[in-house]
Amino acid sequence: MKFPLHRFAAALAVAAVAALAALPAQAAKDVVFAVASTFTTTDPYDANDTLSQAMAKSFYEGLYGFDKDMKMIPVLATSYEVSSDGLVYTLHLRHGVKFHDGTDFNAEAVKVNLDRVTNPDNHLKRYGLYSVIAKTEAVDPYTARITLKNPFSAFINDLAHPSGVMISPAAIQKYGKEIAFHPVGTGPFEFVEWKQPDYLKVKKFAGYWQKGLPKIDTITWRSVVDNNARAAMMQTGEAQFTFPVPYEIADVLKKKPDLALVAAPSIVIRYLSMNTQQKPFDNVKVREAIAYAINKQALAKVAFNGYAEPAAGVVPQGVEYAVKMAPWPYDLAKAKALMKEAGYPDGFETELWSAYNHTTAQKVTQFIQQQLQQIGIRTRITLLESGQRVQRVESWQDPKTAGVRLYYVGWSSSTGEADWALRPLLYGESWPPTLFNTAYYKSDKVDADIKGALLTTDSKEKARLYKDAQETIWHDAPWAPLVVEKLLSANSKKLTGVYVMPDASFNFTNADLK
């Protein structure tokens, strides 16, 4: 060998030093989030899915927002005052905030954004949430005044809703309808590229107003439809965070030493609504019997692999003004007695529809079918596909001919407030096709409470009214409340500060990678 050994060693050493020097002082912190569906849009005002709105939090922020426990917090606003008639909201804005394109955030930006969504010509899908606004004015650069058409006490919650974000007015001007492909906000990350249907990438925004944040350099949001593929990515380290984790894969991921499986509380309630306008469900005793006949604890175990809890009330804990009650007990003897009193000692036949056609819904409906058989109720199960659901339930025009009887469905109040947990589902004017009162429930007392709570600005009075409404509903039993789900996510143990919020949105402002 001509090449002397010591020179070879020296060369190696030089190479090693060079390699070390080539590394940056800190390795780039690139994080991949694997999520279950494709994003529909980056414009939260035009999105109806939680996932797209959660992703949009990378680059957008609202005037108000929610922390990881669903507590409302000021974000781009600092405080607000409301007039005594509940019509005029005055918002004080944060100073020194800039959009990614360098535009200043001020009251004019608030006006541009709210004017955009309240103009029906823009055809934005979240129009309904903000249609209560009559006008928005910029009083001075850091004060905005919003006037409502009628008092609406949950208004600040609407502003905190993930769709109520501030988009750069300059960008709206520049891109118009194409703004969804060029998002420009004030958030911790800047938009890089969106390669549909594969991924959406964002990078750290150097001028972010919260000093020291964000701590990671890039986030790549990858849409991976298949559950198994997401689990595989977590195991190979191709992704650092994934949501949702299906129950059947939870155990596999739990065993991996470098992964953490997190079961977070949610405000997603699953219930069985009963058509109170139709026989035999017009009889409260039948409805109670059904609620008694279902073992919710066992249901949580069988269908949700234990990642759910029996529903403790009409509105899940974590929603503002929710009243906690003892879960509806499982009492077969009482259920049978009630059926006899109602005049159905031998039970009856009826329809059981599910709003979803996935595996969990299949397990739930089969379990309910088997439980109701114990009190003589024979059910025919139909798992509705999304189009069928819209046609047969949600847009059914005539309540008298509605085919829905027992209906398994779920809800999560996206504004984090009792109004949106009760009004769409149990208000007398919310029968389909208006909203989703699939029980066709109508109680003058509950209607008055819900209406009254929207008019008052006094939070004590509001709490009293909502408590009364929830107790009345519990008593009338238009639903058999079933369970409140837990949200399963998995993350690499190196990743910290990423949370799944109770409404299945994400909080990742403080995310860091070790």
CA–CA distance from 335 to each of 252, 279, 291 (Å)?
Answer: 39, 18, 8
| Closer by beta carbon to another protein, 359 or else 395 | 395
| Closer by beta carbon to another protein, 194 or else 367 | 194
Dist CA 1 CA 3 (whole Å): 6
Dist CA 220 CA 498 (whole Å): 14
Among 108, 115, 394, 468, binds another protein (CB under 8 A): 394
Does position 354 interact with another protein (CB under 8 A)? The reply is no
Helix (H) or strand (E) holding 468: helix 459-476
| Closer by beta carbon to another protein, 133 or else 300 | 133
Distance of closest approach, residue 405 Cβ to another protein, in angstroms: 19
Residue 74 token pair: 């000021």
Quick one: which segment of 86-94, 205-213, 316-324, 389-397 binds another protein (CB under 8 A)?
Answer: 389-397
CA–CA distance from 454 to each of 319, 419, 426 (Å)?
Answer: 16, 8, 15
Does position 359 interact with another protein (CB under 8 A)? The reply is no
Does position 455 interact with another protein (CB under 8 A)? The reply is no
Dist CA 402 CA 393 (whole Å): 7
Q: Return left, alpha or beta for 179; rule: phi > 0 is left, psi -120 to 50 is alpha, else beta.
A: alpha
| Closer by beta carbon to another protein, 121 or else 346 | 121
| Closer by beta carbon to another protein, 47 or else 352 | 47
What is the contact mask toward another protein in residues 276 to 315, using x (rule: CB under 8 A)? Answer: ----------------------------------------
| Closer by beta carbon to another protein, 4 or else 120 | 120
Does position 403 interact with another protein (CB under 8 A)? The reply is no
The phi and psi torsions of 171 (rounded to 5 degrees) equal -70, -40
What is the contact mask toward another protein in residues 180 to 219, using x (rule: CB under 8 A)? Answer: x--------------xxxx---------------------
Dist CA 107 CA 146 (whole Å): 11
Ranges within 414-433 binding another protein (CB under 8 A): 414, 420, 424, 433
Dist CA 63 CA 91 (whole Å): 9
Does position 226 interact with another protein (CB under 8 A)? The reply is yes
Among 223, 350, 437, 492, binds another protein (CB under 8 A): 223
Distance of closest approach, residue 385 Cβ to another protein, in angstroms: 8
Total number of residues binding another protein (CB under 8 A)?
48
Does position 246 interact with another protein (CB under 8 A)? The reply is no
Cis link prior to 310 (omega < 30° from 0)?
Answer: no
Does position 257 interact with another protein (CB under 8 A)? The reply is no
| Closer by beta carbon to another protein, 94 or else 392 | 392
The phi and psi torsions of 379 (rounded to 5 degrees) equal -120, 145
| Closer by beta carbon to another protein, 311 or else 425 | 425
Ranges within 108-127 binding another protein (CB under 8 A): 120, 123-127
Please, are residues 161 and 414 in contact by the beta-carbon 8 Å criterion? yes
Dist CA 402 CA 256 (whole Å): 49
Dist CA 183 CA 265 (whole Å): 31
The single-letter code of the amino acid at 217 is: D
Residue 215 token pair: 């701590």
Helix (H) or strand (E) holding 93: strand 88-93
Nearest residue to 184 via CA among 159, 211, 202: 202
Please, are residues 124 and 41 in contact by the beta-carbon 8 Å criterion? no
| Closer by beta carbon to another protein, 207 or else 403 | 403
Does position 238 interact with another protein (CB under 8 A)? The reply is yes
Ranges within 127-186 binding another protein (CB under 8 A): 127-128, 131, 180
Among 302, 337, 435, 463, binds another protein (CB under 8 A): 435
How many CB atoms sit inside 10 A of residue 401's CB? 7
- Let me know if 416 is exposed, middle or buried by CB neighbors in 10 A (0-12, 13-18, 19+): buried
| Closer by beta carbon to another protein, 99 or else 436 | 436
Helices (H), 412-458: 418-426, 444-455
Ranges within 34-53 binding another protein (CB under 8 A): 38, 40-41, 47-49
Among 434, 445, 459, 493, binds another protein (CB under 8 A): 434
Does position 390 interact with another protein (CB under 8 A)? The reply is yes
Among 9, 14, 225, 298, binds another protein (CB under 8 A): 225
Q: Could you list the residues that contact another protein (CB under 8 A)?
A: 38, 40-41, 47-49, 120, 123-128, 131, 180, 195-198, 222-226, 228-229, 232-233, 235-236, 238, 385-392, 394-395, 414, 420, 424, 433-436
